[in-house]
């Protein structure tokens, strides 16, 4: 069978060398673009490469170097648009520099996070982009420090004393949300979030609260924070409303919270923005096609990915100096889910036209 031959061993650098009539070392140099090779020999090597369809084996090639051309990426999950885009960006940026990206999901578990990191250390990756499950003080970052790994922390992180960090400017974005809501006349606002991700949640909460209080000292801000999981948050939110609390706006500090809020509104038959307003941190494609379109804070994924990789490669190439904490500006998209309070619907069915 002729097509069986396809399964044969791929040509190695020695096959190329013997066909070109030079040594393997010379072939290696030609492939690396070293200029001290006689043009004639270089040409023979190129011809042999062409004829045999030779390609450098990255695994063998990486064997001899301490830092291999592999970058690790660890994300809490892959299912959301944010991390999906992030992985996609990181992969393309790594590829541009001739690196291979190995991505793994910690599935929101710090234990798994550390395990994955250990495995990446086994691979002697040149660097790691880590979006920690909780924050920069978790066991994963500690592991990286203890093992002298180079890396960059992103997303659920503010700043660190050992690693560069890149994240969205949660505080400023939240301040802008506060400005918008206060400006529309809201004076009783509920903020929901997940306490686990301490650093960012605090930044978002503080940014929101301080600006809101500055603009309207009489504003009432309630906070419903669940510790770790989404379902408890749903329960707490249900309780909160059951007690008769009736804020005019809800600000969700993370995507799943926005979904929870929406589903609770549904349960109670409330409609945005007539009955209650809603803004969420994190944008998603569907938010602009629903009725109403959901207002959201858009994180600059490309910038975060880009600057994370920039910082990472700088460190890989030996850049010294104290860690840098970067904050990327967000965009706030005020869509139809935000209105003015007391703006009682044209009492009828008109709330849908």
Give CA–CA dist 58/297, Å, rounded: 41
The residue (of 36 and 353) whose beta carbon lies closer to its own copies is 353
The nearest distance, CB 17 to DNA, in angstroms, is 7
* Partner whose footprint covers residue 302, from its own copies, DNA, none (CB < 5 to 8 Å by kind): none
Which of the listed partners (its own copies, DNA, none) does 263 bind, with a CB threshold of 5 to 8 Å by partner kind? its own copies
Phi and psi (nearest 5°) for 148? Answer: 60, 30
C-alpha span between 54 and 36 (Å, rounded): 22
Smallest gap from residue 163 Cβ to its own copies (A): 14
Q: Are strands 325-328 and 164-168 parallel, antiparallel or unpaired?
A: parallel
Q: How far apart are the first and last CA of the chain?
A: 69
What tokens were used for 95?
A: 């590829």
Output the six-digit token pair for 259.
Answer: 């979904």
Buried b (16+ CB within 10 A) or exposed e, 186-198: bbebbbbbbebbe
Instruction: Give whichever of 70 and 158 is closer to DNA, judged by the CB atom.
Output: 70
The minimum distance between CB 181 and its own copies, in angstroms, equals 21
With beta carbons less than 8 A apart as the criterion, state whether 86 and 304 touch: yes
Stretch that binds DNA, among 21-29, 224-232, 327-335, 340-348 (CB under 7 A): 21-29
> In the complex, what is the shortest distance from the CB of residue 7 to its own copies, in angstroms, rounded to a whole number?
4
Residue 77 touches which member of its own copies, DNA, none, C-beta under 5-8 Å by kind:
its own copies
Residue count (the chain): 353
Q: Which is nearer to DNA, 62 or 274 (CB)?
A: 62
Contact call for residue 43 and DNA (CB under 7 A)? no
Hey, how many other C-beta atoms are within 10 angstroms of the C-beta on 30? 22
CB of 241 to its own copies, least distance (A): 16
Nearest to its own copies of 8, 35 (CB atom) = 8
Phi and psi at residue 320, to the nearest 5°: -100, -175
Which residues lie near its own copies (CB under 8 A)? Answer: 3, 6-10, 55-60, 62-63, 66, 68, 77-81, 83-85, 87-88, 91-92, 95, 100-105, 107, 118-119, 121-124, 145-148, 259, 262-263, 266, 269, 271, 284-291, 347-349, 352-353
If one counts every other C-beta atom within 10 angstroms of the C-beta of residue 232, the result is 13
Closest CA to 228 of 86, 81, 87, 110: 110
Nearer to DNA by C-beta: 24 or 142? Answer: 24
Among 3, 4, 9, 243, binds DNA (CB under 7 A): 9
Neighbours of 50 (CB within 10 A): 10
Q: Does 38 bind DNA (CB under 7 A)?
A: yes
CA-CA distance, 269 to 241, in Å (whole number)? Answer: 12
Pairing of strands 220-226, 249-252: unpaired
The one among 47, 50, 51, 65 contacting DNA by CB under 7 A: 65
Rule CB under 7 A: choose which of 52, 61, 271, 300 binds DNA.
Answer: 61
Q: How far is the CB of 65 from DNA (least distance, A)?
A: 6
- 91 touches which of DNA, its own copies, none (CB within 5 to 8 A by kind)? its own copies
Residue 326: contacted member of its own copies, DNA, none (CB under 5 to 8 Å, by partner type): none
- For residue 85, which phi and psi values (nearest 5 degrees)? -60, -40
> In the complex, which residues of this chain contact DNA (CB under 7 A)?
9-14, 21-29, 31-32, 36-38, 40-41, 55-57, 60-61, 63-65
């Amino acid at each position: 069978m002729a097509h069986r031959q396809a399964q044969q061993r791929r040509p190695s650098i020695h096959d190329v060398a013997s066909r070109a009539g030079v040594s393997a070392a010379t072939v290696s140099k030609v492939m690396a673009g070293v200029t001290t090779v006689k043009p004639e020999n270089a040409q023979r090597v190129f011809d042999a490469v062409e004829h045999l369809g030779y390609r450098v084996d990255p695994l063998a090639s990486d064997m001899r170097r301490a830092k291999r051309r592999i970058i690790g990426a660890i994300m809490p999950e892959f299912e959301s648009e944010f991390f999906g885009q992030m992985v996609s960006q990181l992969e393309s940026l790594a590829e541009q520099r001739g690196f291979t990206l190995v991505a793994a999901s910690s599935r929101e578990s710090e234990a798994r996070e550390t395990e994955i990191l250990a495995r990446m250390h086994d691979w002697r990756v040149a660097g790691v982009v880590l979006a920690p499950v909780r924050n920069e003080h978790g066991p994963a970052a500690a592991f990286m420090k203890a093992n002298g790994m180079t890396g960059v922390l992103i997303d659920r992180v503010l700043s660190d004393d050992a690693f560069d960090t890149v994240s969205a400017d949660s505080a400023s974005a939240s301040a802008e949300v506060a400005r918008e809501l206060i400006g529309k006349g809201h004076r009783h606002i509920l903020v929901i979030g997940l306490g686990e991700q301490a650093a960012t949640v605090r930044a978002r909460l503080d940014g929101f609260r301080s600006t809101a209080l500055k603009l309207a000292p009489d504003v009432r801000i309630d906070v419903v924070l669940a510790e770790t999981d989404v379902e408890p948050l749903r329960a707490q939110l249900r309780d909160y409303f059951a007690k008769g609390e009736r804020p005019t706006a809800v600000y969700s500090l993370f995507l799943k919270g926005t979904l929870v809020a929406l589903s609770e509104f549904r349960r109670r038959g409330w409609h945005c923005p007539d009955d209650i307003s809603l803004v969420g941190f994190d944008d998603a494609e569907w938010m602009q096609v629903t009725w109403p379109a959901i207002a959201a804070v858009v994180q600059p994924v490309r910038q975060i990915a880009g600057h994370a990789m920039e910082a990472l490669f700088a460190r890989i190439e030996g850049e010294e100096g104290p860690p840098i904490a970067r904050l990327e500006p967000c965009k706030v998209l005020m869509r139809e889910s935000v209105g003015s309070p007391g703006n009682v619907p044209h009492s009828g069915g008109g709330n849908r036209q």
